[in-house]
Amino acid sequence: MSALVITGVPGLGKNLEENFTDQAGKKPVVISTWDHGLAANAEAWKILNSRGKALDAVEKGVMVTEDDFSNLSVGLGGLPDREGIVTLDASIMDENGRCGGVAFLERIKHPVSVARMVMEKTPHVLMVGSGAQKFALENGFKLEPKKLSPAAEKAYKEWLKRSEYKPKANIENHDTIGMVAIDAVGNLSGSCTTSGLAYKMRGRVGDSPIIGAGMYVDNEVGAACATGVGETVLRICGSYLVVELMRQGLSPMDACKKAIERLVVKNLNYREVQVGFLALNKKGEHGAFAVQKGFTYALADSGGNKMFDSDYFLR
């Protein structure tokens, strides 16, 4: 494609799409956390590849994971809290800085879509618990049965024998899905959805529904999301930090690394936890970094949909 010479505000006075394509690397791109990211990316890619919006891609993508009742860390099949109840957290953010989140939500299949509805239909950003559930039901969501998945029930019964609480790092397929994407016209969006840490205290909310912690988007700069022990991410406003570091000129990879270095300094228990950050910048370049070995992510672009291993701090 020939180079476009545009002065002033990028995107003004020219075909926006041509302009963005010319300025940037490979687009569209979608990245998401862990092995379950592959199936989620495949759905998101259908939208991105047919010139759809990043916002629709990140919602529809993670809905695949929420739909999977065998997944122990996302959606209603997830591991419950200490009282045996599954409570869900989710968030979504678009290219205009609009955002929504739900937390401590019970018996609703697609918390990410409720988060989108909070963003689009209310003057609020975050709704929780019974109020969030009431809002969902009033807006066409169905109340699902109060029932653990067979695998979650088995694991919970096992856990009850000792009732010991220790968040584990790197249990394959047992973590939040965070997704960030850039579409063909260069707009960024992000989503994040989880059943949270297994056997958490009742009422505990993690980083995933908190804008700037579990996920953040600034369409001028980039987008980031997080997975792992949410308390450690909340302490450093993790995803916001990654985006701000990209704003200062760091590559997505270096921004994720610096944010992990900050997390390590601010969390004395860092050796016992896993946290991974994923980031995408305005050019469609991506990066990832984790506290420990074992964080994987999926990336889909015109070259295919593949898994990658993240680099990490504790070598």
Residues forming beta bridges with residue 240, ordered by sequence position: none
73 binds ligand ASP (CB under 6 A): yes
How many residues contact ligand ASP, by CB under 6 A? 13
Query: Which is nearest to 128 in space by CA: 68, 205, 231?
Result: 205
Catalytic residue list contains 65 = no
Instruction: Name which of 103 and 185 has its Cβ closer to ligand ASP.
Output: 103
CB of 12 to ligand ASP, least distance (A): 39
Q: Which residue has the tokens 């807006």?
A: 139
**Which segment (62-70, 77-85, 145-153, 203-211) binds ligand ASP by CB under 6 A?**
203-211
Backbone angles phi, psi at 238, to 5 degrees: -50, -55
Binder to ligand ASP among 95, 175, 183, 244 (CB under 6 A)?
175
x/- mask, ligand ASP, residues 127-156, rule CB under 6 A, reads ------------------------------
Binder to ligand ASP among 29, 197, 217, 280 (CB under 6 A)?
197
CB of 73 to ligand ASP, least distance (A): 6
Instruction: Name which of 64 and 278 has its Cβ closer to ligand ASP.
Output: 278
**Which segment (4-12, 54-62, 189-197, 247-255) binds ligand ASP by CB under 6 A?**
189-197
x/- mask, ligand ASP, residues 219-248, rule CB under 6 A, reads --------xxxx------------------
191 binds ligand ASP (CB under 6 A): no
CB of 176 to ligand ASP, least distance (A): 3
- Catalytic residue, candidates 176, 227, 232, 296: 176
State how far the Cα of 314 lies from the Cα of 267, in Å rounded to an integer: 14
Instruction: Name which of 189 and 195 has its Cβ closer to ligand ASP.
Output: 195
206 binds ligand ASP (CB under 6 A): yes
CB of 232 to ligand ASP, least distance (A): 9
Binder to ligand ASP among 196, 222, 238, 252 (CB under 6 A)?
196
Contact between 56 and 208 under an 8 Å Cβ cutoff? The reply is no
CB of 101 to ligand ASP, least distance (A): 12
CB of 205 to ligand ASP, least distance (A): 8
The number of angstroms, rounded, from the C-alpha of 22 to the middle of its chain's C-alpha atoms is 28
Binder to ligand ASP among 176, 187, 193, 296 (CB under 6 A)?
176
| Structural tokens at position 84 | 């045996």
Q: Which residues contact 113 (CB under 8 A, 6 or more apart)?
A: 59, 63, 141
CB of 227 to ligand ASP, least distance (A): 4
Q: What is the set of active-site residues?
A: 176
Q: Point out which residues bind ligand ASP (CB under 6 A).
A: 73, 175-176, 194, 196-197, 206-208, 227-230
